[in-house]
Amino acid sequence: MKKLFSLFLLVLSALIFVGCSSDSSSDGEGDGANDAGEDNKKVEIFSWWTGAGEEDGLLALIDLFKEKHPEVEVDNAAISGGAGTNAKAVLATRMQGDDPPSTFQVHGGDELNEGWVAADKMQPLNDFFEEQGWMDKFPQDLIDMVSKDGNIYSVPVNIHRGNVMFYNMDIFEEHGIEIPTTFDEFFAAADKLQEAGVTPLALGDKEAWTATQLFENILLGVLEPEDYTALFNGEIPFDDEGVVEAAEIFKKTLDYVNEDHASRNWQDASQLVGNGEAAMINMGDWAKGYFSNDLNLETNEDFGYFPNPETVGEFVIITDTFGLPKGIDNEEETKEFLAVLGSVEGQDVFNPLKGSIPARLDADPSKYDQYGKDTMEDFSEAKLVPTLAHGSAAPEGFLTKVNQAVNIFVTQRDVDTFIDTLKKAASDL
Amino acid sequence: MDQKININKQVDIQPKKKKKRVTSDQLLAVGFLLPSFILLLIFVYGFIGWTGWVSLSNWNTLVPDFSFAGLKNYIYLFGDYRFQADLRNTIFFTILFIGLVIVMGLLLSALIDQKIKGETFFRNVFLFPMALSFVVTGVVWQWLLNPSTGFNQFLEVFGIQPKWYTDTTILAGFEWGSIEFGLPVAIIAVVIAAVWQMTGFSLAMYLAGLRGIPEELREAARIDGASEFQIYRKVILPMLTPITVSVVIIMAHISLKIFDLIYAMTGSGANFVTDVPGVYMFETTFRGNYYANGSAIAIIMLLLVAVFIVPYLLTNRRGDN
């Protein structure tokens, strides 16, 4: 009896084992069948938009698409966490396993061009852009950022600006400080503030990119757009005197930051500006959403903004784009989704919610708040450059090494070692 | 060795007597073990082997590149500032963490063992932190030890303001490779959080051990005129040695592989004062796409843990036989 029972158990476990494996494989086949058969009516959109405003934007965009194409099913495959790190890890696994999503979020610039395009995983979209009449609707600088060797590879949805200085207006008023436009003016203001017992600049570099972003902004201020771009194209070496000068200014700037910067992330650091402990913070314009939505501060009353010193008329772009991977079997539907994504209507539905500005130049400014309007105006006139800190100016591998070098520099303040490390990292580019 | 052969012989003899029955039993056993054995073989050992192979390849881009690189990735790592700092931090973290967990666990269990009132209550109080995940512990202690918001507001009364995990000083440091070797002050903050969480575990282990020591032994020692302190030092502590060994092994593998606590609490820290190999591996692999470098870190971590675990397993096996 006992033996019979254990035999029964064995058979049962074997069945479960076999059942599980066949279950999962049939699941896989089912997915494949859904993609291939059933009239290809499914688009899978892969992103890391799960945060407050951005998820609303994505859902609104999907609703708009469903309205236009009710026959197509949309699968929102957003993965949260780590500012896209988790999503990027999953994406890498899927792409390497030849199981790409229909379309996925990727920053324009090297993250796209030196990543997926160089890996030969993307399809060119030149004809598609012509067809949609988009060639003159996006700024040329931006189209260049999503192109490699003359082929366009993705559709930009939004623009964030990466060289903004947010400041506490009360503090500026109280201490009689004018908006600084040069480094000298910035340091003069910083000295004044420090004497008055206010932290001049808030920094939260628990995650290294915030410090890298500050350095990148200074670098742009010193080098000007032409040399800045040339630096990342390898035409100017990293031990160029401009880079050394930028490192010196970066070093000096670090004397003015809050002491506990290593324990704060960018939100915690922004809080210092919000509650008046610090006067300024260098941040991308997602900080605007944090100030107005999370801290309930009024734009241009409680906090103001200006371009980082010596970057007036220059615009560091962070752009989210969506491309068309190779090896998907629902190209038609995906292209229809991209068409909605790149349309004025699509961009105006998404961006006000996300707190970014549209990538197109002909969007409707009345749908945006004052900050958005100002940024849109700057965007149409300014010189556009790619961001290093968010992976547009250089490949992720280089960025990882720069982040490490910056992390060490913030503590050691050793310019020579810093420049050496950058140069060594650049030699692997 | 001889003993082993004997045992095997005995097993061999038995089937001859009742051949049929034992075979079906064996079949059954094999049948039960086979699925998990195969899964284990593929998903644990297979992937360890795979990781080892990747660590010897040139795969440091998005696109897999399996050309053989030799020990290039390992050589790079051992010359790397960040990895050297990681090794330093791991060494000091492990020593402090294990030492404190043992001392605290022993002390608390000795106190609880005094047949006090409300023993269950205290035992639970000390055990509770273990029910939390390291991520929760990390976030809580990040705020408690934050230099401007936490515990320091209390310490302000006494005029001390430690910088906790934002401190970048290295105690008793000297140049070693490209880093300064010494105790990173920031790691102490992490050790406090980790000890807070894991002391309950060693407390429970030691309490069980103490309860297993017969009262007669203490009585005998007392009659021989030993003081309470001497009883602990000469009688009880030596009898707790097997428990100490287990605690060390379990804590060592936790501390060598630690990732979540650091990731949630401090991140890499300024100048990598709180960075550990686990965090470096994650960032270099999944942010920088340096797959081969990341694999090399994983293999080094595996070897570090093996240094502790393998001797333990070997002695355990000998003990069983």
* Cβ contacts of A10 on chain B, cutoff 8 Å: 28, 31-32
pLDDT above 60 for A415? yes
Q: Are B107 and B301 in contact (CB under 8 A)?
A: no
Residues A78-110: tens digit of each pLDDT: 998 767 778 888 998 899 888 999 999 999 999
- pLDDT level of residue A35 (50, 70, 90 thresholds): very low
Average pLDDT (B250-262) is 93
Continuous segment of H or E residues that includes residue A169: helix A169-174
Q: Distance from first CA to last CA of chain B, Å, rounded?
A: 9
- pLDDT level of residue A37 (50, 70, 90 thresholds): very low
DSSP A317-365: EEEEEEE-BTT-S-HHHHHHHHHHHHSHHHHHHHHHHHT-EESSTTS-G
Q: Quick one: pLDDT at residue A421?
A: 93
pLDDT above 90 for B103? yes
Q: How far is residue B28's CA from residue A3's CA, in Å, rounded to a whole number?
A: 9
- pLDDT level of residue A68 (50, 70, 90 thresholds): very high
Q: Quick one: pLDDT at residue B174?
A: 86
By Cβ distance, the residue of A115, A120, A206 closest to B267 is: A206
Q: Does A355 touch chain B (CB under 8 A)?
A: no
Contact call for B271 and A96, based on CB within 8 A? no
Q: Does B288 touch chain A (CB under 8 A)?
A: yes
pLDDT above 60 for A19? no
Q: Quick one: pLDDT at residue A13?
A: 58
Contact call for B28 and A10, based on CB within 8 A? yes
Higher pLDDT, A184 or A429: A184
Cα within 13 Å of Cα(B287), Cβ side: 23
Pick from A348, A351, A323, A380: which is nearest to A146 by CA? A323
Continuous segment of H or E residues that includes residue A159: strand A154-161
- Contacts of residue A38, defined as CB under 8 A and 6 or more positions apart, other chains included, come to none
Q: Across chain A, what does the average pLDDT equal?
A: 88
Average pLDDT (A26-43) is 50
Q: Quick one: pLDDT at residue A29?
A: 39
Q: Quick one: pLDDT at residue B7?
A: 46
Q: Quick one: pLDDT at residue B102?
A: 96
Contacts by residues B245-251 (CB-CB < 8 Å, ≥ 24 positions apart):
B245/B312, B246/B205, B247/B98, B247/B101, B247/B102, B247/B105, B247/B201, B247/B202, B247/B205, B247/B206, B248/B98, B248/B102, B248/B308, B249/B308, B249/B309, B249/B312, B250/B201, B251/B97, B251/B98, B251/B101, B251/B102, B251/B198, B251/B202
Contact call for B286 and A13, based on CB within 8 A? no
- Write the single-letter amino acid at A267: Q
Q: Are A392 and A110 in contact (CB under 8 A)?
A: yes
Q: Does B30 touch chain A (CB under 8 A)?
A: no
Q: How far is residue A150's CA from residue A44's CA, in Å, rounded to a whole number?
A: 28
Q: Are B185 and B172 in contact (CB under 8 A)?
A: no
Say whether the ipTM exceeds 0.90.
no
* Cβ contacts of B284 on chain A, cutoff 8 Å: 400
Q: Across chain B, what does the average pLDDT equal?
A: 88
Contact call for A6 and B142, based on CB within 8 A? no
- Please report the domains of chain A, with CATH numbers, ordered by start residue: 41-158+320-376 (3.40.190.10), 164-316+387-427 (3.40.190.10)
- Write the single-letter amino acid at A332: E
Average pLDDT (B39-62) is 94
- pLDDT level of residue A25 (50, 70, 90 thresholds): very low
Pick from A321, A332, A314: which is nearest to A383 by CA? A314
Lowest mean pLDDT among A7-11, A80-84, B254-258: A7-11
Q: How far is residue A366's CA from residue A284's CA, in Å, rounded to a whole number?
A: 22
Q: Quick one: pLDDT at residue B2?
A: 45
Q: Are B77 and B171 in contact (CB under 8 A)?
A: no
Q: Are B134 and B260 in contact (CB under 8 A)?
A: yes
Continuous segment of H or E residues that includes residue B47: helix B47-55
User: How would you classify the pairing of strands A42-47 and A73-78?
Assistant: parallel
Pick from B86, B191, B165: which is nearest to A263 by CA? B165
Q: Are B272 and B85 in contact (CB under 8 A)?
A: yes
Q: How far is residue A289's CA from residue A356's CA, in Å, rounded to a whole number?
A: 9
Length of chain B: 321
Continuous segment of H or E residues that includes residue A377: helix A370-381
* Cβ contacts of A404 on chain B, cutoff 8 Å: 81-82, 272
pLDDT above 50 for A131? yes
Distance from CA of B283 to the nearest CA of A (A): 8
pLDDT above 80 for A26? no
Q: Does B33 touch chain A (CB under 8 A)?
A: no
- pLDDT level of residue A24 (50, 70, 90 thresholds): very low
- Write the single-letter amino acid at A318: I
- Beta pairing partners, B56: none
Q: Quick one: pLDDT at residue B168?
A: 87
Continuous segment of H or E residues that includes residue A130: helix A126-132
Contact call for A260 and B165, based on CB within 8 A? no
Distances from the Cα of A71 to the Cα of A65, A76, B3, angstroms = 10, 16, 74
Q: Are A41 and A333 in contact (CB under 8 A)?
A: yes
Q: How far is residue A54's CA from residue A290's CA, in Å, rounded to a whole number?
A: 12
pLDDT above 70 for A370? yes
Helix/strand/coil for A426: helix
Q: Quick one: pLDDT at residue B21?
A: 56
Q: Quick one: pLDDT at residue A427?
A: 85
- pLDDT level of residue A309 (50, 70, 90 thresholds): very high
Lowest mean pLDDT among A351-365, A374-388, B11-25, B237-251: B11-25
Q: Are A186 and A309 in contact (CB under 8 A)?
A: yes
Q: Quick one: pLDDT at residue B308?
A: 84
Distances from the Cα of A38 to the Cα of A30, A71, B138, angstroms = 11, 11, 48
Pick from A333, A252, A427, A417: which is nearest to A73 by CA? A333
Q: Quick one: pLDDT at residue A298?
A: 92
Q: How far is residue A354's CA from residue A67's CA, in Å, rounded to a whole number?
A: 20
Residues B170-211: tens digit of each pLDDT: 888 888 888 889 999 999 999 999 999 999 999 999 999 999
Task: Report the residue of chain B nearest A411, measured CA to CA.
Answer: B271
Residues A200-243: tens digit of each pLDDT: 999 999 888 999 999 999 999 999 999 999 999 899 999 999 99
Assigned fold of B72-320: MetI-like fold (1.10.3720)
Q: Quick one: pLDDT at residue A429?
A: 65
pLDDT above 80 for A52? no
Residues A150-175: tens digit of each pLDDT: 999 999 999 999 999 999 999 999 99
Instruction: State what percent of residues in chain B have pLDDT above 90.
Output: 60
Q: Does B31 touch chain A (CB under 8 A)?
A: yes
Pick from A142, A115, A59, A110: which is nearest to A325 by CA? A115
Q: How far is residue A387's CA from residue A20's CA, in Å, rounded to a whole number?
A: 47
pLDDT above 80 for A374? yes
Q: Quick one: pLDDT at residue B176?
A: 83
Cα–Cα–Cα angle for A153, A146, A51, rounded to 5 degrees: 95
Q: Does B146 touch chain A (CB under 8 A)?
A: yes
By Cβ distance, the residue of B62, B82, B146 closest to A404 is: B82
Residue entry with tokens 């409707």? A364
Best residue in A263, A275, A398, A414 to probe B by mutation, most B CBs within 10 Å? A263
Q: How far is residue A212's CA from residue A403's CA, in Å, rounded to a whole number?
A: 6
Q: Quick one: pLDDT at residue A224?
A: 92
Contact call for A85 and B61, based on CB within 8 A? no
Q: How far is residue A32's CA from residue A138's CA, in Å, rounded to a whole number?
A: 36
